[in-house]
């Protein structure tokens, strides 16, 4: 099994979304997709006149914001992905982290309903794959008492991969991590990441993704890939991140 994490930006790129699902037609019974949708959530919150803030890269999620965040991620974003999957002949099924066997708890009081993943249990995913479905899991989770949580999509993907001992691919808009001259870096580890970060080669959004991939590799005890949708069926493409 493999878990593919999609960023919300792919929702704004219908051709890339279509190409991604077309590449999954023959491997849908081995693939699970975890997705975010931060830009869409921001649009919904703004339309409702709610001010949204971020703290250390995480969207502060007060309880009064959650209907809009859940509606954007588990509703609209998830169903946009389902629509495109169906159009390419795939049988998708939209889920939250709860159906994947993952329970969540509040990360900290100042972040509101931002959740962190815990209590991994057997979920529906294996059976759904056997039945020919492609699970599309939004980064919305639930606690033991039914509280709902907004979970960072990268963290959600790591949790799903860990729960099912699966490989993890983090999709991005470029072919992988690039060097100072725009060339693909095929492999990175803790030492090389530190060196390239200090040199300013890895920075901004890619630095966040690389650090997340490194943490994921440590947690999963296997390498994690960062790449574009072209990397989906090419195991040696993209950038391999290991400890």
Structure tokens at 220: 């999963």
154 is catalytic: yes
Among 5, 94, 115, 123, which one carries the catalytic annotation?
5
Among 94, 101, 209, 238, which one carries the catalytic annotation?
209
234 is catalytic: no
Contacts 24+ apart (CB under 8 A), 14-21: 14/84, 16/229, 17/81, 17/84, 18/84, 18/87, 18/88, 19/229, 20/171, 20/229, 20/232, 21/84, 21/85, 21/87, 21/88, 21/90
Q: Residue 24: which residues within 8 A CB-CB, separation 6 or more?
A: 31, 85, 88, 90, 134, 232
38 is catalytic: yes
Among 7, 8, 123, 141, which one carries the catalytic annotation?
8
79 is catalytic: no
Q: Residue 126: which residues within 8 A CB-CB, separation 6 or more?
A: 1, 164
Among 94, 154, 227, 238, which one carries the catalytic annotation?
154
The enclosing H or E element of 212 equals helix 204-220
Among 7, 36, 37, 38, which one carries the catalytic annotation?
38
3-state helix, strand, coil in the chain (%, to 5): 40, 25, 35
94 is catalytic: no
Number of residues assigned to the chain: 243
> Which residues are known catalytic residues?
5, 8, 38, 154, 209
């Amino acid at each position: 099994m493999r878990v593919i994490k999609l960023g919300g930006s792919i929702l704004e790129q219908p051709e890339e979304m279509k190409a991604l699902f077309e590449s999954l037609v023959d491997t849908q019974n081995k693939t699970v997709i975890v997705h975010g949708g931060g830009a869409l959530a921001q649009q919904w919150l703004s339309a409702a006149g709610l001010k949204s803030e971020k703290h250390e890269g995480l969207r502060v999620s007060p309880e009064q914001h959650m209907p809009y965040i859940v509606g954007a991620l588990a509703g609209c974003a998830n169903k946009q992905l389902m629509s495109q999957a169906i159009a390419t002949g795939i049988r998708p099924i939209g889920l939250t982290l709860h159906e994947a066997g993952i329970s969540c708890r509040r990360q900290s009081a100042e972040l509101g309903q931002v959740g962190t993943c815990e209590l991994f249990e057997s979920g529906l995913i294996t059976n759904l794959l056997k039945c020919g479905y492609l699970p599309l899991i939004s980064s919305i989770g639930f606690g033991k008492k039914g509280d709902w949580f907004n979970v960072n999509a990268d963290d959600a993907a790591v949790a799903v991969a860990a729960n099912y001992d699966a490989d993890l691919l983090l999709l991005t808009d470029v072919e992988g991590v690039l060097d100072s001259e725009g060339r693909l870096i095929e492999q990175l580890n803790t030492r090389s990441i530190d060196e390239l970060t200090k040199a300013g080669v890895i920075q901004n959004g890619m630095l966040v993704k690389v650090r997340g991939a490194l943490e994921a590799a440590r947690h999963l005890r296997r390498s994690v890939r960062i790449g574009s949708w072209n990397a989906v069926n090419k195991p040696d493409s993209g950038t391999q991140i290991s400890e």
